[in-house]
């Protein structure tokens, strides 16, 4: 994420994500976006990393994304919209077609992650965090601790739990912490 996306670019990504979610849930089909689609400007064609979050009346129904920019931003959004529909946490209760009218989509466009050597540098509400210890890895988007009402200590402790480790995993000398920021926007305006 180099520059903030404008309202039109955000709308385009939300439209692509909505179309893909509905297409995938109704028919299992993946959306093909034409390379010459006039909605795609240089920013949406540039490599970008994004997460797509699906909620039903506020309840999480899927959240999947990419941390690194390995494909054009619009493709990252479309790809992760499908993956959010397949979020393994909801495998036993997948999203159904009748539920689509209640699904809200949120997109988080990520900056490149940067290493931080000091957990005290993490700023709640600004920083997403990636914790890696050996083969274990956990990630929270910047909005998660604010939504949960966590302070920095709780944020980092819950990140350890998400990574399948203990609550003090971020203090482990082998732990690697990376932070990133995100431009977050959704179908529903903030209250």
**CA distances in angstroms from 171 to 17, 69, 133, listed in the order given:** 37, 29, 10
Beta-strand ranges (E) seen in the chain are: 49-56, 59-65, 103-110, 114-116, 128-133, 136-140, 176-180, 182-186
Residues in the chain: 191
Q: What would you report as the CA-atom Rg of the chain, rounded to the nearest whole angstrom?
A: 17
Domains of the chain: 7-110 (3.30.700.20), 114-180 (3.30.1490.150)
Please give the model's pTM, rounded to 2 decimal places.
0.92
160 within 8 A of 115, measured Cβ to Cβ: no
Q: Which residues pair with 129 in a beta bridge?
A: 140, 179
**Residue 65 and residue 186: Cα distance in Å, rounded?**
15
Give the sign of the dihedral formed by CA 117, CA 122, CA 126, CA 129: positive
DSSP-assigned states of every residue in 118-172: -GGG--TTT-EEEEEETTEEEEE-THHHHHHT--HHHHHHHHHHHTTS-TTGGGS
* 39-88 tens-digit pLDDT: 999 999 999 999 999 999 999 999 999 999 999 999 999 999 999 999 99
pLDDT digits (tens, 9 = 90+) for 135-176: 999 999 999 999 999 999 999 999 999 999 999 999 999 999
């Amino acid at each position: 994420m180099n520059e903030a996306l404008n309202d039109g670019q955000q709308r385009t990504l939300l439209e692509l994500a909505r179309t893909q979610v509905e297409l995938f849930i109704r028919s299992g089909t993946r959306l093909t976006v034409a390379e010459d689609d006039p909605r795609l400007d240089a920013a949406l064609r540039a490599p970008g990393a994004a997460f797509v979050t699906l909620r039903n009346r506020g309840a999480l129904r899927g959240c999947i994304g990419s941390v690194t920019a390995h494909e054009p931003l619009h493709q990252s959004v479309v790809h992760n919209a499908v993956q959010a529909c397949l979020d393994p946490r909801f495998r036993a209760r997948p999203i159904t077609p009748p539920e689509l009218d209640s699904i809200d989509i949120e997109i988080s466009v990520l900056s490149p992650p940067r290493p931080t050597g000091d957990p005290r540098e993490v700023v709640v509400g600004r920083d997403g965090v990636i914790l890696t210890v050996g083969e274990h890895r956990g990630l929270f988007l910047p909005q998660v601790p604010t939504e949960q009402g966590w302070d920095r200590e709780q944020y980092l402790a819950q990140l350890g739990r998400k990574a399948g480790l203990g609550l003090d995993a971020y203090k482990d000398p082998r732990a690697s912490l990376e932070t990133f920021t995100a431009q977050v926007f959704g179908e529903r305006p903030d209250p």
